Amino acid sequence: MMLRSFIAIELPADLQDTIYASTSGLQESLPKPLVRWVPPKNLHLTLKFLGDVSPANLEQLAEALMVETAKHETFSISVGGLGAFPNSRRARVIWIGMDAPASLGTLQHCVESVAERLGYPPEERPFSAHLTIGRTGQNCSASELAKIRSELDACRVGSLGSVRVEAIQIFKSDLNPAGSVYTRLYSLALKSL
């Protein structure tokens, strides 16, 4: 049995709720199918998407990452701001921004290196710390894209708080008709200060 998996930083429930509350007006003005919004409990910072992995390979990856994460000190990330990839004119992914120290990039690079050593293909795009909160429909018309852009430009999201990163997690993702369900399989601690 293969498990669809990814490595991420889990967010505390109160921050997930704050993000949801700060974007609820945007979500009301851009309902499904125009935008598929991520449920608050699924908000996380992805460090590496793995795809379908066997439980034995996940355990091997977790053991290798445990050794590496213990070398990285805990740190804090500030959360706030709103944007879209590739841009608001052709939004595909709607995100909340993150202001993180260089240690986040170092940690993500470490995760990528460990995964690559174990045979997982490297990510081709550069790492960009963000929280995906929504994805636009694949077949948006020009007028729908204009509406999305207008709503994004009108929405202001200031500082939403910060999170202390003390571990990274490996999750499995089960796809079902109501949306993805994420289950934490491993939590790998960083070095305490």
Alpha-carbon span 91 to 49, nearest angstrom = 21
Q: What are 127's two structure tokens?
A: 């790492």
CB 174 within 8 A of CB 4: yes
Q: What is the pLDDT of residue 150?
A: 95
| Axis-axis angle for helices 55-69, 102-117 (nearest 10) | 140
127, 134, 103: which is closest to 40 by C-alpha?
Answer: 134
Q: What is the pLDDT of residue 178?
A: 79
The active-site residue out of 48, 72, 130, 172 is 130
The active-site residue out of 18, 44, 160, 182 is 44
For residue 125, which phi and psi values (nearest 5 degrees)? -85, 150
Burial annotation 85-94 (CB, 10 A radius, 16+ → b, else e) = beebeebeeb
pTM of the model: 0.94
User: Would you call 109 a catalytic residue per the annotation?
Assistant: no
List the domain boundaries for the chain: 3-189
SS (H, E, C) 24-91: HHHHHHCCCCCEEECCHHHCEEEEEEEEEECHHHHHHHHHHHHHHHCCCECEEEEEEEEEEECCHHHC
CB 69 within 8 A of CB 168: yes
Q: What is the pLDDT of residue 137?
A: 85
User: Would you call 72 a catalytic residue per the annotation?
Assistant: no
Average pLDDT across each block of 10 residues of the chain; the chain has 193 residues. List them in order: 96 96 96 93 96 95 96 96 93 95 96 95 92 92 93 94 96 90 96 83
9, 3, 5: which is closest to 103 by C-alpha?
Answer: 9
Q: Which CATH superfamily is domain 3-189 in?
A: Cyclic phosphodiesterase (3.90.1140.10)
Q: What is the pLDDT of residue 192?
A: 85
- Give the dihedral sign, CA 172/170/107/110: negative
